[in-house]
Structure 1
Amino acid sequence: MPAPWSNSGATDLAIWGACQGSGSRPYQTIVELAGPAYKCSCPSRKFPCKHALGLLLLWADGGVPDADAPADFAAEWLAARVQRADRSAQRTEQPRDPERAARTAAQRTDAVAGASRS
């Protein structure tokens, strides 16, 4: 394991690790492999950040040990992603109101027709 990385591991779902950056606390980095989706506690505005990319490269090179379960910080983030996905699926399963959809479509048609006459 390279020097800046600690507390790293991999399961079939995700890889994670703590990377010592310039700050006093290591950056907690997680990559969900199914997405892929990324999360890092660093202040970078780039997505994915260099820590997530570095962790992926390290994993691809066999430098991340297998683990039975994710670290606590990774498990929390993964659980929150599952909850958001479940809520999103529930919202899309709810039936839409066909009458309201027809009224909205009619209003849009009227608005477009009115705008083209101006």
Structure 2
Amino acid sequence: MRITVPTARVLAALLADPDVDHYGLELMQRAGLASGTLYPILHRLTEAGWLERRWERVDPAEAGRPARRLYRLTGEGAMQARQVLAELRGQLGGAPAATDPRPAW
């Protein structure tokens, strides 16, 4: 899989809390990406088996909003994401701050 800077940002955002379901707006904010960039990345990661996706189980009338599509790293996806980000950090000679989910590059 080709890892671009935006893809690395999405992976870092997902790895910030890998055992939690994430939704699009949250990932856009964490990764600093627009929806037109984020959703194709999420689709590619899902097709590669790195992400699971499912619809949130919520009553839209009760919640006052439509159900969200939720994304979570698979075990394989988390392992691959950690490896890819570690390699990129090594190539760049540093690691991002622990509080910033976006890569330093």
Structure with greater helix percent = 2
Larger RCO, structure (CA 8 Å, separation 6 or more): 2
TM-score normalized by the length of structure 1:
0.27
TM-score normalized by the length of structure 2:
0.29
Structure with greater strand percent = 1
